[in-house]
């Protein structure tokens, strides 16, 4: 595809104009890890960021690397938009990921552990145990660990065991004869998942206010007890990461729920993609383990510390040191929207927009509770993607179904890593009498929407709607930023009614009046709106695009943005995670600025603004600008029609464009540069400003 004029005849599909999405995702994780060394972040929150970066990297291997390895194994050489083949890309990923892992352990050992020690928080190594501590830990080992450990000697009758995904294991070198008079060289000890990975010493033996010992250290110290009569020459931690994507051929199954139930146990034993071992393990042990898992040296990660760093997050909640954590806050809750308030009356008067976590999630739960109890409510319809295992949302839907209301729930069973919870809640809803459907085969239902049908005073039926950018999940509503809109707007209500009808009946949807939705109108509409801004710019009319989202990788949208930039449209993008767009390329994306904000809360809002020659349009959406969201999922994109609400959102969006505290600017070379205040400028932290404005 080329642009139309000679001076801008640049091939906009050239691979050089697209950043690889996997490498971009690793760059996002680098920005998360950078928070763990940020001096303005409280110490224990810095530890939490380190753990998050480890969890992110685990998922990256379980899904992204696993997928690339599968493509390579099946002989697929399909190239991405950046023209990289799977083998080449895996090599690049390995180099970057090894550097990230090395940095994670440097941060832990050289920065966080010494600083926590200064605060009376100590992680004791075996060499530091005194006699009292060793005695207490031996008792702990014999009473709490020994009864549940099952050492596995390796011989022809005891082949190498199956290793659970991301479980803690030890390879033990032995010398001597076993109970049957045979030489035994190796054994494997698997630490059950029920065991705590970090053990807090009681006050009578602790040398500091908070004194912890790693489970791995305890097992290592007393591993000899597992092999009486033999000498332990060495004991070394290792961990294996496996492919955790579920495969269900949706065209061949007649019951998606049962098919997924059958696949879930296999997730623990998917194909191996990474081996982690401690750095003091001899090379011959690594070379012994790698073939057991079909891995090579590029898949081996030697780590200077516990192989399961993300388990350190458990100690953060055990430590009651408020000064070492983010200060608490109370989300805003207008009395009319809380328990006892009359939500339907309030929504009938005006649109209500909540900005979580600054605004409480309580009104969303209360909306469903009141719908369940209101005799005028006839029907409730809702989509559920992620809700948590003990959800007040689900409890309200169950109550409504048991009260005899028509309750229809579209449960997306294939929400990655939440499949088991979603299967359980689907069964619970069905047992209560709700109609449960599992979305559309081949298209995940990712839209966040509630429709309540209520009979009003005059006997007419009225639609009350909630639409959101994030999940109906009370816990993540405290740590993710998201918008949620309550409205009784007739046109929007009819649109959501038609979408639900489509999801349940599978019939063709009528033309929607206000709401854009995937996989039908959203992709084309976004490209048309971008193109309209470009035409306005060429005609000398006002033009501007501002968009905020989690990911930006869809090539059609990126090409449209490049063309708009060439036409002179000023484009500001706030993209938290991965992006394939390359800004600031001369003649292509000079007018595009792309930044990422990494702060206390996970930025999750999706907002799209188009100046439209003064007839401004502002949308919130459940969809990122990715191929999967725009073309292969059911998503909604809804307008913020109320002028006051639109002005409020634009002011809040503006804070992210001015942020010089938590923002990173993407450069043309694909690297991010931290934004810092100018010498005479004041630091602007968008999230902190919103906390003060909306909660204090």
Q: CA-based diameter of the chain, in Å?
A: 91
Number of H helices, E strands in the chain: 20, 27
Q: What are phi and psi of 413, to 5 degrees?
A: -70, -25
Tell me the percentage of the chain whose pLDDT exceeds 70.
92
The 10s digit of each residue's pLDDT in 88-144 is 999 999 999 999 999 999 999 999 999 999 999 999 999 999 999 999 999 999 999
Residue 118, classified by CB atoms within 10 Å of its CB into exposed (0-12), middle (13-18) or buried (19+), is exposed
Joined together, the tokens standing for residue 359 give 């605004």
DSSP output for 435-464? EEE--BTTBEE--EEEEEEEE-TTS-EEEE
- The region of weakest confidence among 32-41, 247-256, 556-565 is 247-256
* pLDDT at residue number 696: 65
Of the candidates 210, 355, 356, 446, the residue annotated as catalytic is 446
* pLDDT at residue number 180: 65
Residue 270 vs residue 498, higher pLDDT: 498
The 10s digit of each residue's pLDDT in 314-324 is 999 899 999 99
Q: How far apart are the first and last CA of the chain?
A: 51
- The region of weakest confidence among 239-243, 248-252, 523-527, 664-668 is 248-252
Three-class secondary structure of residue 633 per DSSP: strand
Q: How far is CA 70 from CA 77, 86, 310, 442, 628, in A?
A: 11, 9, 26, 20, 19
Q: Residue 611: is its pLDDT beyond 70? A: yes
* pLDDT at residue number 246: 40
* pLDDT at residue number 260: 39
Mean pLDDT of 395-401: 94
Joined together, the tokens standing for residue 622 give 């459940």
The 10s digit of each residue's pLDDT in 620-655 is 999 999 999 999 999 999 999 999 999 999 999 999
Three-class secondary structure of residue 235 per DSSP: strand
Active site residue 446: yes
What is the C-alpha to C-alpha distance for residues 167 and 405, in angstroms, rounded to an integer? 45
Name the pLDDT band for 181 (thresholds 50, 70, 90). low
Residue 459 vs residue 555, higher pLDDT: 555
What is the C-alpha to C-alpha distance for residues 64 and 76, in angstroms, rounded to an integer? 15
Name the pLDDT band for 444 (thresholds 50, 70, 90). confident
Superfamily (CATH H level) for 335-514: Endonuclease Chain A (3.30.870.10)
Q: Where in the chain is the domain with CATH 3.30.870.10?
A: 335-514, 518-695
Q: Residue 619: is its pLDDT beyond 90? A: yes
* pLDDT at residue number 161: 87
What is the C-alpha to C-alpha distance for residues 248 and 265, in angstroms, rounded to an integer? 13
* pLDDT at residue number 254: 43
Mean pLDDT of 342-349: 96
Q: Is the pTM of this model over 0.75?
A: yes
Tell me the percentage of the chain whose pLDDT exceeds 90.
74
What is the C-alpha to C-alpha distance for residues 454 and 249, in angstroms, rounded to an integer? 40
Of 548, 557, 542, 655, give the one whose Cα is nearest residue 594.
Answer: 548
Of 435, 439, 411, give the one whose Cα is nearest residue 425.
Answer: 411
Q: Which CATH architecture has domain 21-324?
A: 2-Layer Sandwich (3.30)
What is the C-alpha to C-alpha distance for residues 576 and 18, in angstroms, rounded to an integer? 17
DSSP output for 344-398? HHHHHHS-EEEEETTB-SHHHHHHHHHHHH-TTEEEEEEEES---SS-HHHHHHH
Cis geometry, peptide bond prior to residue 648 (ω within 30 degrees of 0): no
Name the pLDDT band for 427 (thresholds 50, 70, 90). confident
* pLDDT at residue number 499: 95
Secondary-structure class of domain 518-695 per CATH: alpha beta
- The region of weakest confidence among 377-381, 478-482, 674-678 is 674-678
Q: Where in the chain is the domain with CATH 3.30.1840.10?
A: 21-324
The 10s digit of each residue's pLDDT in 328-339 is 999 999 889 989
Joined together, the tokens standing for residue 669 give 């070379």
The 10s digit of each residue's pLDDT in 252-303 is 434 444 543 444 444 444 689 999 999 999 999 999 999 999 999 999 999 9
Q: Residue 417: is its pLDDT beyond 70? A: no
Q: Residue 247: is its pLDDT beyond 50? A: no
Mean pLDDT of 4-21: 79
* pLDDT at residue number 448: 96
User: What mean pLDDT value characterizes the chain?
Assistant: 90
* pLDDT at residue number 416: 54
Three-class secondary structure of residue 467 per DSSP: strand
């Amino acid at each position: 595809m080329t642009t139309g004029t000679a001076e801008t005849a640049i091939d906009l599909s050239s691979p050089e104009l697209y950043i690889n999405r996997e490498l971009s995702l690793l760059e996002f994780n680098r920005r998360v890890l950078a928070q763990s060394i940020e001096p303005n972040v409280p110490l224990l929150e810095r530890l939490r960021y380190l753990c998050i970066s480890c969890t992110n990297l685990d998922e990256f291997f379980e899904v992204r690397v696993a997928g690339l390895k599968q493509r390579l194994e099946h002989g697929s050489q399909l190239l991405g938009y950046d023209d990289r083949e799977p083998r080449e890309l895996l090599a690049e990923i390995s180099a970057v990921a090894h550097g990230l892992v090395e940095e994670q352990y440097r941060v832990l050992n050289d920065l966080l552990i010494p600083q926590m020690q200064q605060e009376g928080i100590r992680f004791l190594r075996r060499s530091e145990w005194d006699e009292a501590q060793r005695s207490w830990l031996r008792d702990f080992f014999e009473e709490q660990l020994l009864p549940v450990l099952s050492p596995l000697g390796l011989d022809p009758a005891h082949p190498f065991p199956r290793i659970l995904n991301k479980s803690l294991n030890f390879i033990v070198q032995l010398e001597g004869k076993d109970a049957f008079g045979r030489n035994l060289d190796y054994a494997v000890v698997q630490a059950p998942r029920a065991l705590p990975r970090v053990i807090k010493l009681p006050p009578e033996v602790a040398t500091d206010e908070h004194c912890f010992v790693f489970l791995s250290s305890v097992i290592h110290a007393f591993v000899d007890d597992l092999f009486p009569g033999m000498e332990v020459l060495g004991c070394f931690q290792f961990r294996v990461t496996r492919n955790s994507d579920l495969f269900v051929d949706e065209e061949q199954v007649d019951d998606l729920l049962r098919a997924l139930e059958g696949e879930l146990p296999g997730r623990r034993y998917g194909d191996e993609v990474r081996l982690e071992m401690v750095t003091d393990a001899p090379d011959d042990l690594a070379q012994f383990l790698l073939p057991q898992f079909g891995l090579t040296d590029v898949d081996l990660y030697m780590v200077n510390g516990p192989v399961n760093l993300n388990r350190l997050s458990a100690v953060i909640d055990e430590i009651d040191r408020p000064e070492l954590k983010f200060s608490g806050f109370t989300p805003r809750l207008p009395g009319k929207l809380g328990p006892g308030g009359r939500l339907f009356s309030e929504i009938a008067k005006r649109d209500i927009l909540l900005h979580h976590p600054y605004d409480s999630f309580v009104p969303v739960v209360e909306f469903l509770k009141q719908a369940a109890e209101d005799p005028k409510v006839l029907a409730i319809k809702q989509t559920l993607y992620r809700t948590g295992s003990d959800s007040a949302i689900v409890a309200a839907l169950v109550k409504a179904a048991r009260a005899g209301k028509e309750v229809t729930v579209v449960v997306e069973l294939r929400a990655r890593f939440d499949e088991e919870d979603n299967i359980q809640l689907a069964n619970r809803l069905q047992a209560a009498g709700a109609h449960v459907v599992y979305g559309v085969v081949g298209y995940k239902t990712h839209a966040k929407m509630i429709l309540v049908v209520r009979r009003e005073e005059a006997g007419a039926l009225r639609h009350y709607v909630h639409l959101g950018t994030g999940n109906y999940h009370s816990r993540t509503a405290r740590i993710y930023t998201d918008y949620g809109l309550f409205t009784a707007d007739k046109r929007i209500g009819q649109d959501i009614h038609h979408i639900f009808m489509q999801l349940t009946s599978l019939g063709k949807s009528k033309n929607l009046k206000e709401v854009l939705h995937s996989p039908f109108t959203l992709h084309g509409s976004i490209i048309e709106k971008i193109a309209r801004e470009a035409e306005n710019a060429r005609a000398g009319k006002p033009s501007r695009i501002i968009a905020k989202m989690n990911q930006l990788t869809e090539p059609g949208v990126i090409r449209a943005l490049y063309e708009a930039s060439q036409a002179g449209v000023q484009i500001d993008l706030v993209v938290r995670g991965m992006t394939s767009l390359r800004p600031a390329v001369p003649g292509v994306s000079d007018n595009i600025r792309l930044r990422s904000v990494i702060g206390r809360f996970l930025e999750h809002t999706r907002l799209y603004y188009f100046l439209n020659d003064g007839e401004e349009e502002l949308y919130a959406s459940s969809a990122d600008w990715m191929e999967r969201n725009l073309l292969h999922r059911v998503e909604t994109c809804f307008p913020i029609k109320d002028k006051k609400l639109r002005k409020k959102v634009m002011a809040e969006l503006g804070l992210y464009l001015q942020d010089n505290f938590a923002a990173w600017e993407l450069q043309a070379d694909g690297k991010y540069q931290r934004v810092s205040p100018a010498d005479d400028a004041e630091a602007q932290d968008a999230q902190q400003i919103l906390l003060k404005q909306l909660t204090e």
